[in-house]
Amino acid sequence: MIRLNQDVVATRSYRHWICGILLLLIPGFASPVAAQSAQKIRVADKVWGFDGRVVNGQFMPLSIELDNLSDEPLEALATLKSVSGMIRETGGTATQAVFLGPHSRRWVQFYPYIVGGTTSWHFELRTDEETFTFDDIDQPRSVQDSSTLEMKTTDQTLPAVILDRPDAPVRIPTTVKHMPEEIFPPYATATHGLYAVFMDHVPDWETPRQEALLSWLKSGGHLHLLHDQNNQTLRFSGILAALNEPFDEFHVGNGSVTRHEFQRADLSQDIVTTATSPPSLSKTDIDEITEFEKNGGAGYGYNPNVADDEDLFVELRQLTQPEHMWWLIFLLSMCYVGLIFPGCWILSRQRQLHFLVTYGCIAGLSVVFSLLFLFIGRRGYGETTSLHSVGIARAEDDTHYSLLQFTTLFVTNGNTYSITDKDHQTLLASGATDENVDASITSGNTASFVSRIPPFSSQAVRARRRIKTDNWNLAVTGLSQQRDELEQLTITFGETFPNDPLTECLVIHGRNLHHTKTDLSRHQISLINHREKLRSYGVSAYDSINVFGMPQYSAPASSDDDDPVEASFKSMLPSLVRRSLADDHVKDAGKFRLPGDRIRLLVYTPMSDDQQFGVDAEVRRVGRILYVRDLLLNPRQQSAESNGGVPE
């Protein structure tokens, strides 16, 4: 009996302890719930990209719907920053002003640059009185490799959406992702991750969104027009009147428009899959690629990923290396060694001198030459604050280009610097993806990148801008093909074509890259007898295998008279050519084929002063742009291209 009572007492004691622990833990569990219920602002919805996925190497929209639950209006600063490894913030901080009326909702849209990997994004609202924090937003998976030889699942289709009215009661069909028309980006620079759009009504858009849609289409988008809810063909007006061509299929710029004789409810999975699958390679191409990869591919160290731009930033940073007078440093070094020995040794042999004289000379020489080396070899000797840029400009039409730009700002004095740009629909992001950057970033038509930069260091910046150029009046006036191979080509140009001696032109046809010569007097570009596979351009072939079993590459020939800056820019051209293919929704340059109805002209030329960023400091600006222009070979398609202008 006594033993039983002891067990009962012990059981009751354990229960008391458990109840006490639960009472302590319950407030901890209840506090988040209470905080959430007391939150004045909540995130009602969020949409990544266009179809819930992201594309590496592109600025992608992140749409966040905010809901003001309070009776007071809210004026705040919205911020977005990437978080790597759950706790380490990386890159700069994107900001934009937000106003929310009482008991109202609105969408806020950021445009982060996607570099891949596991990343989350920290979103906040900051007012003068308080800061509203929300759960981190996880970055979704990126679109899978669209250049895979054999597509195995529907998940490997490219990003596509159907636009919904704001008052759409039911989301049909279920065969394609839906996107509210009010969150379609108002900037053409934010649409490069989108492949196809299905539309069954004329969106109620303001002018910027209409221009963004047309710019996206002319840059190579795919638009599919369905019948409206009355089973009638869509009719557009104003800026979008170029979509009223009476053909089932036609081009607007480099993009295509396809009409379908059915409504959205009849949009089947087969049609969507066909419309959103990347162009397939021929059996000949697949066999050739398989044989190439079987034999070792492009060699050791070759990176086929066209969205990787880290090599470009490495080259840009090397442009700001100090220019020391090494011959003078070497001469002073020899003098110092000679004065120490045998100079000081001879001095020590003089019996009439005190031995401390020798020690004093050694110390004095050390001080004097240390000061000389400090002056001659110091940082900043031959260095100036400079802005170096390279970019890839993808043509929309004769005068408008979407410029993806990589920039480094090197400074000799530590300070807060501001990089600005106006009226170019500019999207900005930090080029430092693995470290935290003290920078405030604002995108849009009044864009700025404000950053604190230490002395003798550089700040890397990524940007996407819409720029305007002169009309080069390009035309294909001569073309000769043998089967799929381009034998002869003549392209004429007008007076405004770049005539800088550093300008270089290349042509892509199919899977080949052709070298050209430019005759400025006759205003024409023609092929020379030199072509190579696009995947092999700029990749050094190895001559032998070294003792470690690694490929031994031959060094490229160079001249001592070459300008190191120009040589560095020239070495970036192959990387820029491969990087330009990211806008074609491919990942591997070796598996890209340009459609047979066009040739692609690449023009690599110095960047003009009016195309450079503004900086609030005296800087030396140097840059290059690779212009990418597709020229259609069908006269009817070219006429449709000329009818699709976007007003300024």
Are both 522 and 604 inside the same structural domain? yes
Residue type, 349: R
In a domain, 150, yes or no: no
* Spatial distance between the Cα atoms of 389 and 411, rounded to a whole number of angstroms: 15
Confidence (pLDDT) at 588 = 85
Backbone angles phi, psi at 283, to 5 degrees: -60, -35
Query: Tens digit of pLDDT for each residue in 602-643?
Result: 999 999 989 999 999 999 999 999 999 999 886 444 444 444
Confidence (pLDDT) at 322 = 62
Give 86's pLDDT tier (boundaries 50, 70, 90).
Answer: low
Give 529's pLDDT tier (boundaries 50, 70, 90).
Answer: confident
Confidence (pLDDT) at 435 = 83
Backbone angles phi, psi at 188, to 5 degrees: -65, -25
Count of CB atoms within 10 A of residue 232's CB?
9
Give 32's pLDDT tier (boundaries 50, 70, 90).
Answer: very low
In a domain, 23, yes or no: no
Final residue of a structural domain among 376, 407, 441: 376
- Residue of 87 and 636 predicted with greater confidence: 87
Say what the pTM is.
Answer: 0.83
Mean pLDDT of 381-387: 78
Mean pLDDT of 114-134: 91
In a domain, 285, yes or no: no
* Spatial distance between the Cα atoms of 539 and 556, rounded to a whole number of angstroms: 11
Confidence (pLDDT) at 33 = 38
In a domain, 301, yes or no: no
Query: Tens digit of pLDDT for each residue in 433-477?
Result: 778 899 999 999 999 999 999 988 899 999 999 999 999 999 999
Are both 460 and 579 inside the same structural domain? yes
Confidence (pLDDT) at 13 = 52
Are both 434 and 487 inside the same structural domain? yes
Backbone angles phi, psi at 479, to 5 degrees: -150, 135
Query: Is the pLDDT confidence value at 555 over 80?
Result: no
Backbone angles phi, psi at 193, to 5 degrees: -85, 5
Are both 474 and 563 inside the same structural domain? yes
Are both 393 and 430 inside the same structural domain? yes
Are both 87 and 176 inside the same structural domain? no
Q: Nearest CA to 198 among 229, 177, 170?
A: 177
Query: Is the pLDDT confidence value at 292 over 50?
Result: yes
Confidence (pLDDT) at 349 = 84
DSSP character at residue 142: B
Confidence (pLDDT) at 20 = 52
Residues of the chain with pLDDT > 70: what percent? 83
- Residue of 121 and 26 predicted with greater confidence: 121
Mean pLDDT of 39-52: 93
- Residue of 147 and 406 predicted with greater confidence: 406
Confidence (pLDDT) at 416 = 96
Query: Is the pLDDT confidence value at 28 over 60?
Result: no
Residue type, 115: V
* Spatial distance between the Cα atoms of 623 and 626, rounded to a whole number of angstroms: 10
Query: Structural domain of residue 230, as residue ranges?
Result: 159-276
Residue type, 108: V
Residue type, 337: V
Sign of torsion over alpha carbons 292, 294, 295, 297 = positive
| CATH number for the domain harbouring residue 48 | 2.60.40.10
Mean pLDDT of 84-92: 81
Bridge partners (DSSP) of residue 386 are: 410, 620
Sign of torsion over alpha carbons 148, 150, 154, 155 = negative
Are both 181 and 47 inside the same structural domain? no
Are the CB atoms for 434 and 415 separated by under 8 Å?
Answer: no
Give 135's pLDDT tier (boundaries 50, 70, 90).
Answer: very high
What tokens does 368 get? 């004097």
Are both 362 and 217 inside the same structural domain? no
| 137-138 vs 120-126, strand pairing mode | antiparallel
Residue type, 503: T
Greatest CA separation for the chain = 117
Query: Is the pLDDT confidence value at 577 over 60?
Result: yes
Which of 3-12, 89-98, 105-114, 577-586 comes out lowest in average pLDDT? 3-12
What tokens does 268 get? 């089947």
Which of 37-46, 286-295, 520-529 comes out lowest in average pLDDT? 286-295
Cis status, amide bond into 342, omega within 30 of 0: yes
Query: Is the pLDDT confidence value at 296 over 70?
Result: no
Sheet hosting strand 160-164, strand order edge to edge: 177-180, 160-164, 196-199, 222-225, 255-259, 249-252
Final residue of a structural domain among 261, 276, 291: 276
Mean pLDDT of 552-581: 76
Are both 641 and 512 inside the same structural domain? yes
Are both 362 and 389 inside the same structural domain? no
Domain count, the chain: 4
Query: Tens digit of pLDDT for each residue in 225-271?
Result: 999 999 999 999 999 999 999 999 999 999 999 999 999 999 999 99
Mean pLDDT of 567-585: 94
Query: Is the pLDDT confidence value at 537 over 50?
Result: yes
Are both 237 and 336 inside the same structural domain? no
- Residue of 18 and 158 predicted with greater confidence: 158
Which of 77-81, 474-478, 560-564 comes out lowest in average pLDDT? 560-564
* Spatial distance between the Cα atoms of 198 and 349, rounded to a whole number of angstroms: 95
SS3 content of the chain, % helix, strand, coil (to 5): 30, 35, 35
* Spatial distance between the Cα atoms of 421 and 417, rounded to a whole number of angstroms: 14
Confidence (pLDDT) at 319 = 85
Are the CB atoms for 91 and 83 separated by under 8 Å?
Answer: no
- For 223, 243, 292, 396, 425, the CA distances from 252, given in Å and listed in that order, are 10, 8, 36, 9, 21
- Residue 341's contacts (CB-CB under 8 Å, 6 or more residues apart) are none
Confidence (pLDDT) at 85 = 72
* Spatial distance between the Cα atoms of 517 and 30, rounded to a whole number of angstroms: 73
Are the CB atoms for 431 and 390 separated by under 8 Å?
Answer: no
Q: Nearest CA to 435 among 86, 115, 92, 60?
A: 92
Rg (CA), the chain: 31
Mean pLDDT of 15-20: 51
Q: Nearest CA to 600 among 625, 574, 626?
A: 626
In a domain, 314, yes or no: no
| 485-492 vs 614-615, strand pairing mode | unpaired
Mark 193-205 as b/e (b = at least 16 C-beta within 10 Å). bbbbbbbbbebeb
In a domain, 283, yes or no: no
Bridge partners (DSSP) of residue 205 are: none
In whole angstroms, what separates CA 302 from the centre of its chain? Answer: 20
* Spatial distance between the Cα atoms of 188 and 583, rounded to a whole number of angstroms: 13
Give 298's pLDDT tier (boundaries 50, 70, 90).
Answer: low
Sign of torsion over alpha carbons 227, 232, 238, 242 = positive
Mean pLDDT of 120-128: 94
Mean pLDDT of 8-25: 48
Query: Is the pLDDT confidence value at 303 over 70?
Result: no
Question: Distance from first CA to last CA of the chain, Å, rounded?
Answer: 97
- For 12, 32, 165, 213, 266, the CA distances from 229, given in Å and listed in that order, are 71, 46, 12, 22, 12
Q: Count how many residues are written for the chain.
A: 648
Confidence (pLDDT) at 389 = 97
- Residue of 564 and 603 predicted with greater confidence: 603
What mean pLDDT value characterizes the chain? 85
Final residue of a structural domain among 361, 376, 391: 376
Are both 64 and 133 inside the same structural domain? yes
* Spatial distance between the Cα atoms of 629 and 627, rounded to a whole number of angstroms: 6
* Spatial distance between the Cα atoms of 383 and 377, rounded to a whole number of angstroms: 12
Are the CB atoms for 140 and 154 separated by under 8 Å?
Answer: no
- Residue 279's contacts (CB-CB under 8 Å, 6 or more residues apart) are 593, 595
In a domain, 111, yes or no: yes
- Residue of 632 and 12 predicted with greater confidence: 632
In a domain, 453, yes or no: yes
* Spatial distance between the Cα atoms of 223 and 275, rounded to a whole number of angstroms: 10
DSSP character at residue 581: G
- Residue of 370 and 186 predicted with greater confidence: 186
DSSP character at residue 240: G
Bridge partners (DSSP) of residue 88 are: 84
Q: Nearest CA to 441 among 425, 457, 419, 423?
A: 419
- Residue of 322 and 451 predicted with greater confidence: 451
* Spatial distance between the Cα atoms of 210 and 185, rounded to a whole number of angstroms: 10
Are the CB atoms for 242 and 214 separated by under 8 Å?
Answer: yes
Confidence (pLDDT) at 384 = 85
